[in-house]
Structure formats: structure tokens, C-alpha cells
Amino acid sequence: MTHDPMEDRQKELLVNIIESYIREADPVGSRALEGALGLSSATIRSEMVELETQGYLYQPYTSAGRVPTALGYQFYVREVAKPTEPATQEQKSLQTIVKEFKNNYEQLMKQLAKELAEASGEAVMVVFNPHDVYYTGLAQLFQQPEFTELDMVQAIGAVVDTMEEATAGLYKNASDEVQVKVGNENPLNEHCALVLTRYNIPVAQNPSLVSFLGPLRMNYRANMGRLEFLRRIL
């Protein structure tokens, strides 16, 4: 099957914009991408306009660079994002916690959640059962640039206020695969993203759901990798 080169070029451009924005939290301009893509600024701008028309990007204000939309992130997660291994030091920290708390399952999961929140900068939830939800990392989460916007603070506040009720459906429908829910796919709040999976640990009475909760500008690859690594060591 042959690909339309224009389509492939747009995909490459979109991925570059998304990954740059995830790293830097700054709107991405055409000049920043010239070297990476080997295209002229004018060509990149033209493609950006096309991607904006298709709903994958938006321009926060005139003369700014572009920022991914929820649709852009959904494309990225579905088509591109693959898990990356946690850094060696992070792996060691998680393994140490597993050894230290192996005889107290609830404490183990809470300590792991704190470590994951610290490493990722996101909030982390552990749902032990539909009526028992633990969360940590809100302090780190609120330090992210998105939370200078009042509506983002309100969005996370709304999630926390209805945490138990909102996570019951997630818990019921969770699977052993790592799932990513972005924008309108996220039942907790469309302004946020979730990366989650379920763990069935023999010593636990019920499966546990572990989830990263953060803004749409999330390092999806790293957080997917963290949950997969956790599965290997639990």
C-alpha cells in the first residue's frame, strides 16, 4: 500500500510538534522545526495550517506557534506513542519499595504511588476497590505550567471532589493492558489525561487500578513504561 507523501509529512510534523510541546510546554513555531524536518519555514507553516484545519493543532494567539489539541494527542497515543523504560535509578527505587513493603500490600501500593508521582510530576491514583481510592501527587501536578490557568485547577478540583464516584466506572472497566484516555475519552474530565492499568496481585483481595492523572500535555511514553515496568516487578 503506498502512502501519500504529504500525509506522511503531516504526520511527522504533528509528532514533532507534540513531542516538542510535551518537553517544553511552549507553542511550537515553524523555525524551531526546520532543522528536524529539512523543510522550509513556509512549507511547515502551510502544513501547520492544514493540521489546524483538521483539528489536530490550534494557535493560542496570533503570531504564536501551534499547540496540540485533544484530537492531536489522541492521534499520537493511538498511532505513535510506545512505552519507554524508566531510568535506571527510578527502576531501583521502585524495586526497593517492592522489597521493603512486600508483606503489606496496601502500604506497598501507596509507597509506589508516591514514587510514581514524584518521578512523573503527575497525580497518581490507586483504586483498591470501588469504595477505596488513594491519591497522591497533587502538589507536583499543580506546579506544571497548565495550572496557571484557573480552569485547569477547577478541572482537577472537580475530579478530586467526585473521585470515589468517578473511579467506580473506571475500576469496573479496567483491563490488564495499559490504557490511555485523553480529552473526551476520559470519563473523569475532558481537560485531563489518564494512563492506567489493572494489577491482579495474588496477595490482594481485589485487583488494583493504578492511574496517572495529569494535563493533556503528558509524557505518555514514560508513564506507559512506568506502569509496564511495575507489572514486571510486582
37-54 in b/e burial notation, b at 16+ Cβ within 10 A?
A: eebeeeebbebbeebeee
Q: Per-residue pLDDT tens for 83-118?
A: 999 999 999 999 999 999 999 999 999 999 999 999
- Cβ contact 230:210 at 8 Å: yes
Tell me the β-bridge partners of 58. Answer: 67
Nine cell digits for residue 232: 514486571
Of 227, 24, 234, which Cα lies nearest the Cα of 120?
227
Nine cell digits for residue 56: 489536530
Q: Give the model's pLDDT for residue 31.
A: 87
Beta strands, E only, the chain = 57-58, 67-68, 123-129, 132-136, 179-182, 192-199, 208-215
- Cβ contact 44:13 at 8 Å: yes
Q: Count CB neighbours of 71 within 10 A.
A: 16
190-229 in b/e burial notation, b at 16+ Cβ within 10 A?
A: ebbbbbbbbbeeeebeeebbbbbbbbbbbbbbbbbbbbbb
Q: Count CB neighbours of 135 within 10 A.
A: 19
Instruction: Give residue 126's identity as a one-letter amino acid code.
Output: V
Of 140, 97, 117, which Cα lies nearest the Cα of 226?
117
Q: What angle do CA 64, 26, 193 make, to 5 degrees?
A: 115
How far is Cα 191 from Cα 214, in angstroms, rounded to an integer? 9
Q: What angle do CA 85, 86, 90 make, to 5 degrees?
A: 155
Q: Give the model's pLDDT for residue 17.
A: 96
pLDDT tens digits for the chain (234 residues)?
Answer: 444 444 888 999 999 999 999 999 999 999 889 878 888 899 999 999 999 999 999 998 887 799 999 999 999 999 999 999 999 999 999 999 999 999 999 999 999 999 999 999 999 999 999 889 999 999 889 989 988 888 888 888 888 888 888 888 899 999 999 999 999 999 998 989 999 999 998 888 899 999 999 999 999 999 999 999 999 999
- Cβ contact 141:214 at 8 Å: yes
Of 1, 3, 21, which Cα lies nearest the Cα of 13?
21
Q: Per-residue pLDDT tens for 151-171?
A: 888 888 888 888 888 888 899
